[in-house]
Amino acid sequence: MEKKRLNLALLAGGRSGERQVSLMGAAGVEKALDSTRYRVVRFDPLTDLADIAASAANIDFAFILLHGLWGEDGTVQGFLDLLDIPYQGSGVTGSALAMDKNLAKELYRLHGLPVADWRVIGGPEPRFSVSELVAELGLPLVVKPVCDGSSLGMTIVREEANLRQAVEKALVHGGRAMVERFVAGREITVGVLGNDDPVALPLVEIIPGEGFEFFDYDAKYKPGATREICPAEVDEDISRRAREHAVAAHDALQLRGYSRTDMMLSASGELFLLETNTIPGMTPTSLYPQAAAEYGLDFGALLDRLIALGLEGRGRK
């Protein structure tokens, strides 16, 4: 007798600036999913929301492969909750908290996690004093949207004269900009896996290639633009602290299933949390799958584990 397969809706594409990244990742995920265990149907929330709702009774599980707004921010999670379709990763609250970099940093700080000082600029007619921001936070500064992903709208400002333009660039993405003290050092990212007792995966160091000032959109997705070292070559004390911080951030933001927290490691050995991703990139060579492979889960096994955690977290077998 044929083993029953799970009817899996793969949600990819969407409306955000990371649409193409989502579609590229979906191709790899669909290929890696075991066809003897899953019957996969693709849906694009940009055009297929009504089709998802109409098919809900026949969908056993949704694998969300949407990044940024309208996918990673709790909106699609709420839609699936209304349809009673289980999915991988965090629910509405955790997704929304992590997407809002300001709220996430407030929660990090509330839980004793280290962050660089910052200010938020926003409102219908955002007003701010360039000189006051520089006096308070110094130079260089990192300016980025409060709610967006893949470093879209982000600038490193090294001269006061460039700050206003950088803020205006970030405000285009959702109307709020974060101005953050720049931390020089090495960029580290740490994945977390699990529901009630999450564990940290091996560290990955991100080294943007020549011509890239930071890990921006092109550095993330242009082949060969960035070197990634897994496990990161840091001493055990730093590795331990980074892993502890990643799990603490995961818990502080009320996340489930998996997450990936980015942080900076200064020359003096201090760690500063930047942000937490609730739906990390999911190609076989993305940062999270690299760390999972080092941990002992190949790409197919990782996908199986995320689906199992999603079903478990929502009371399904």
Selected catalytic residue, list 71, 194, 260, 286: 260
Q: How far apart are CA 108 and CA 263, in angstroms?
A: 12
Residue in 81, 175, 221, 294 annotated catalytic: 221
In 3D space, the residue among 32, 191, 178, 26 whose CA is nearest the CA of residue 99 turns out to be 178
Please state, in angstroms and rounded to a whole number, the distance separating the CA atoms of residues 310 and 96: 18
- Choice among 14, 16, 18, 100 that is catalytic: 18
Which residue out of 95, 239, 259, 277 is catalytically annotated? 277
Q: What φ, ψ does residue 294 adopt, rounded to 5°? A: -65, -30
Sheet holding 155-157, edge to edge: 118-122, 176-181, 141-145, 155-157
Catalytic residue among 30, 257, 262, 310: 262
Active-site residue, 260 included? yes
Both structure tokens of 8: 């899996």
- 18 belongs to the catalytic site: yes
Q: Exposed e or buried b for every residue in 270-286, given b needs 16+ CB within 10 A? A: ebbbbbbbbbbbbbbeb
Kindly name the residue from 71, 74, 257, 281 that is annotated as catalytic. Answer: 281
Query: Residue 100 catalytic?
Result: no
Active site residue 39: no
From 275, 286, 288, 313, active-site residue: 275
| Catalytic-labelled residue, pool 95, 150, 239, 286 | 150
Known catalytic membership, residue 102: no
Has 35 been annotated as catalytic? no
Could you give the CA distance from residue 154 to residue 169 in angstroms, rounded to a whole number?
8
- CB atoms inside a 10 Å sphere around CB 223: 6
Positions marked catalytic? 18, 150, 221, 260, 262, 275, 277, 281
